[in-house]
A and B are shown apart, each in its own frame.
Chain A
Amino acid sequence: MCLAVPALLVELNGEEGLADLHGNRLPVNTQLVPGARPGDWLLIHAGFAIGRLDEEEARETFAVLAELQAAQRAAAPEQADSARQEAPP
């Protein structure tokens, strides 16, 4: 339940903002992160920003995730084969 995701704040109107998460726009309440501004990377949990991320860290996290996804895609056919072999009788 304590899952939180980093997203880029793109719009802010008072405390209510809009964050970009891989192209999805999420409404986000920023009252727990006073001074948040568009362009900030925020950690978002259940509609609330709960923390601010260092931009470099956020990019790094996404880069690692993208790398993982690419690796998983590349390995997908193999994995599917081995999964079939290992499946219970």
Chain B
Amino acid sequence: MNPPEHDVRKSLERLAAATKGGRELAFMEVCGTHTTAAFRCGLPSVLPRHVKLISGPGCPVCVTAQQDIDLLVEAAGRQGVTLCTYGDMIRVPGRRGSLQEARGRGARVHVVYSAMDAVALAQAHVDRQVVFAAVGFETTAPATAAAVQAARRRGLTNFTVLNSHKRIVPAMQALLERGAKMKDGLGIDGFVCPGHVSVIIGARAYLPLARDYAAPCVISGFEPWQMISALARLAELAQSGRAEVINEYPEVVSPDGNRAAQKLLDEVFQPAETRWRGLGLIAQSAWVLRPAWREFDAQVRFGLTPPEDCEPKACLCGKVISGLALPTDCSLFGRSCTPLQPVGPCMVSSEGTCAAWFKYSWRQAPHRPLPILAGASP
């Protein structure tokens, strides 16, 4: 493989050359960090007219089903429970408010930097039941596995996880399948694959997408030149009808990924069906605790059952995540749903598509000026 060009202009020229005179191409990135990186540098505004970059289900906060959020809020409200969460989750509104609001009502909710911090908290406060909100893709899941193992080694009986870890490849597969089956499904001409998920799962993990669905996959880093270079490579592959997996982030991504992390995942978790916001149930798309680790499952420990899944009324987050709607298609966007008062998770998370649009791209929808900005003085 040739090393990618470190030059934005050259990569853009390559992209333009690859798409010249060709059909319209739609590529999807499935990583919240890619979404933010693309918008921050104004990438959508410099792409050739017939190349679309769609943000897919790449933000773990955004794809977490409403019922899982409700479950977290319920767990936080239990007597004697201290709920530990990554900061991203704390403001996501559930049916009975967010974790932050639960904290306002007296629940003990702690923001942690690492799953190990939650284990340390459990060790320091044996009189409290510490529940860790385990959210994230393969990048984050090994840390939860390590935390659960550490809790067992230390003999902790007051540490559990409320788990909604997800696997990205089955979701990409589901999108491709639905795109092929349904009339209103989304045509995806290729994926910009997530850089840091790939560190764990390896480049080979995307081979089934290329083989079975003829979808080109290019693993990309997060600098503007890396993303544009990945798009140029995807356009070249799509135009020539070659479905290949190409690793353009070889400095950290290997063909087989991080074997130690995979082994750890396999020891603690097994794949299972789970619900995604906007995408519904997807087979094999969750990492759930293996039976041997059930004592660390907060749902088992506290007898929690997920409530019925019920997404906020009129919220288009589900469609935005699936690439079927733009944030500006949503009647709530910029009106009742803003980063300060978010309705849906895509506006809450700093990596959410709606938040990125609100922050960087509202001018692309001049036909719909945002009320919150109208009349604002510079």
Contacts and interface: CB of A to CB of B under 8 A. Distances in A.
A1 B88 contact: yes
B323 interface: no
B32 A32 contact: no
Interface string A44-60: 01111011011001000
A32 B69 CA distance: 29
A33 B142 CA distance: 12
A3 B61 CA distance: 13
B137 interface: yes
Contacts, number: 94
Interface in B183-216: 194-197, 199-200
- Of A29, A33, A84, A87, most buried by chain B (CB within 10 Å of CB) is A29
Contacts of B199: 4, 43, 50-51
A34 interface: yes
Contacts of B261: 32, 50
A1 B136 contact: yes
B113 A50 contact: no
A21 interface: no
Contacts of A43: 196, 199, 252
B292 interface: no
A64 interface: yes
B373 A88 contact: yes
Interface stretch (B114-122, B234-242, B272-280): B114-122
Contact of B142 (A32, A53, A54, A84): A32
Interface string B117-152: 100000000000000000111011011001000000
Contact of B86 (A31, A46, A61, A89): A46
A2 interface: yes
A32 B137 CA distance: 16
B378 interface: yes
Interface residues of A, number: 25
Contact of A46 (B6, B114, B194): B114
B6 A33 contact: no
B53 interface: no
B46 interface: no
B100 interface: no
A4 B198 CA distance: 12
Contacts of B115: 46-47
Contacts of B137: 1-2
Contacts of A47: 113-117, 143
B60 interface: yes
A66 to B, nearest CB: 13
Contacts of B351: 1
Contacts of B314: none
A43 B61 CA distance: 22
A65 to B, nearest CB: 9
B66 to A, nearest CB: 18
Contacts of A53: 251-252
Nearest to B251: A57
Interface string B30-41: 011100000000
B59 interface: yes
B264 interface: yes
Given A2-B33, A46-B115, A84-B378, A32 B260 contact: yes
A72 B195 CA distance: 25
Given A1-B86, A29-B146, A45 B196 contact: yes
Nearest to A45: B139
B196 A2 contact: yes
Question: What are the 7 tightest A-B residue pairs by CB atom distance, in nearest-first order?
Answer: A47-B114, A87-B378, A57-B251, A2-B139, A2-B196, A51-B199, A32-B261
Interface of B: 6, 31-33, 59-61, 86, 88, 113-117, 135-137, 139-140, 142-143, 146, 194-197, 199-200, 223, 251-252, 258, 260-261, 264, 349, 351, 373, 376, 378
30 contacts: A1-B59, A1-B60, A1-B86, A1-B135, A1-B137, A1-B139, A1-B349, A2-B60, A2-B137, A2-B195, A4-B139, A4-B199, A29-B116, A32-B142, A32-B146, A45-B139, A45-B196, A46-B113, A46-B115, A47-B114, A47-B143, A48-B146, A50-B139, A50-B199, A50-B261, A53-B252, A64-B6, A64-B223, A87-B378, A88-B376
